[in-house]
Amino acid sequence: MEVQQVLHMNGGVGKTSYANNSLLQRAVISTVKPIVDASIEELCCTLFPECLKIADLGCSSGPNTLLVVSDIIDNIRNTFQKLNRPPPSLQAFLNDLPRNDFNTVFRSLPGFYKKLDEEPEKKLGPCFIAGMPGSFYGRLFPDNSLHFVHSSYALMWISEVPKGLVTKEGEALNNGNIYIAKTSPPAVFKQYLEQFKRDFTVFLRSRAEELVPGGSMVLTTMGSIKSDDPLCIWEFVGTKLNDMVLEGLIEEEKLDTFNMPYYAPTTKEIEEVIEAEGSFILQNLEVFKNDWDSYVKQADSGLDKKTRAAIFATDIRAVGEPILASQFGEAPMDDLFRRFEADVLDHMERENCQFINLVISLTKKR
């Protein structure tokens, strides 16, 4: 499986599109906003750039894509008003893999610029927004060209499925699972951890070359308390796929040979890679948890359980369908997510399932 070809959210603006089903991600961005604000404010007060250059890595598409840029514009304006200085211009790069639905992003830009022009209280210097397709597990920008890097819910997607999950003899080690699960042998966890360490090291090394000295990053990723038993949403999806195998709806071999290119690290694993790579000062590493469906209840507390399950299932489908369909085909997807919807909240209550979110604040060493 070539991850760059299949790892993208559902495009367009249809019923199962990511653009219309990314409420969880929006809630996380809002929760992390004070941390981003503090980082941007400190940056503006120490570097005084005439043109602030930022990158949002793993931007995806839909209304959340420009939310971070809009929030940063507000923060820059407020900060420079306090400093009694004219605000800088802003250059924002929106990055994701080439199969991302950049067309939807670009179509939203005229409305975004118009809104800026119509709200003089949000006036900044000139604002320029550009797409930057490519993997963030490697270089994307020139040396010392960025002041700030943001990434939300992207770093848990690793660059490739660990190669060691299949033996030299062609035997799959993680039979019946699509990610680390309770039934996965220790070798599966080890392979995932090593892949994460390689990828995160490359990520940090690449950003260290691209950021100016004193530049900063705020990275939000899904994490784990215990990464070899993460109670992950993909483990639950795997149980539904197993049910379909038992009913003859999906080939067993297809399930046994498929693993998600995903890893939810612990805080310790994050800290160890940052220290070993050596280019950044870890300013802060925060953890916040929320029940799988808490963001739905926060948006509308009056929804019944069945409706919450339907919303949650569609949200997960918007994220996972492209990569799952690349292995199992389009035909089983409706059935898979119907099963997911029917059982997910009962499973969540039994297992006390929560999203573990890690927020990492870093500054490049001078």
| pLDDT band, very low/low/confident/very high, at 276 (cuts 50, 70, 90) | very high
Listed in sequence order, the residues at least 6 apart from 288 whose beta carbon sits closer than 8 Å to its beta carbon are 31, 357, 359
Residue in 306, 299, 290 with CA at minimum distance from that of residue 341 = 306
Is the per-residue pLDDT at 1 higher than 70?
A: no
Residue 211's pLDDT band (boundaries 50, 70, 90)?
very high
Cα separation of 88 and 54, whole Å?
12
Cβ-contact 341, 309 below 8 angstroms: yes
pLDDT over threshold 70, residue 240:
yes
Interval 352-358 mean pLDDT: 83
Is pLDDT at 140 greater than 90 in this prediction? yes
Token couple for 65: 């894509």
Average pLDDT (232-257) is: 86
C-alpha 193/C-alpha 190 separation (Å) is 5
Q: Is the pLDDT of residue 148 over 70?
A: yes
Quickly state the pLDDT bin for 181 (edges 50, 70, 90).
Answer: confident
Mean pLDDT of 220-240: 77
Do residues 159 and 261 lie in contact, with contact meaning Cβ atoms separated by under 8 Å? Answer: yes
**Is the confidence at residue 188, as pLDDT, over 90?**
no
**Does the pLDDT value for residue 217 go beyond 90?**
yes
Average pLDDT over residues 351-358: 82
Q: What value does the mean pLDDT take over residues 83-107?
A: 86
6: pLDDT strictly greater than 60: no
| pLDDT mean across residues, the chain | 84
Residue 61, pLDDT > 80, answer no
Average pLDDT over residues 222-242: 77
* Dihedral, CA of residue 36, residue 317, residue 200 and residue 145, to nearest 10: -50
Residue 280 CB neighbours (<10 A)? 21
Calculate the dihedral angle through the C-alpha atoms of 247, 335, 10, 222, rounding to the nearest 10 degrees.
Answer: -70
The pLDDT of residue 108: 84
The verdict on domain 3-364 having CATH code 3.40.50.150 is yes
What's the whole-number mean pLDDT along residues 32-37? 90
287 with 356: CB under 8 angstroms?
yes
SS3 13: coil
pLDDT at 2: 66
Distance of alpha carbon 36 from alpha carbon 329, whole angstroms: 39
Element housing 283 (H / E):
strand 280-291
Give the model confidence (pLDDT) of 110-132 as tens digits: 888 888 777 666 566 788 899 99
146-152 and 127-133: which strand pairing? unpaired
pLDDT the model gives residue 296:
76
Q: 59 near 69, Cβ under 8 Å? A: no
Q: What is the mean pLDDT of residues 158-179?
A: 80
User: Per mean pLDDT, which of 184-188, 281-285, 330-334 is the most reliable?
Assistant: 281-285
Q: What pTM did the predictor assign?
A: 0.88
Looking at residue 134, its pLDDT comes to 92
Percentage with pLDDT > 90 across the chain: 26
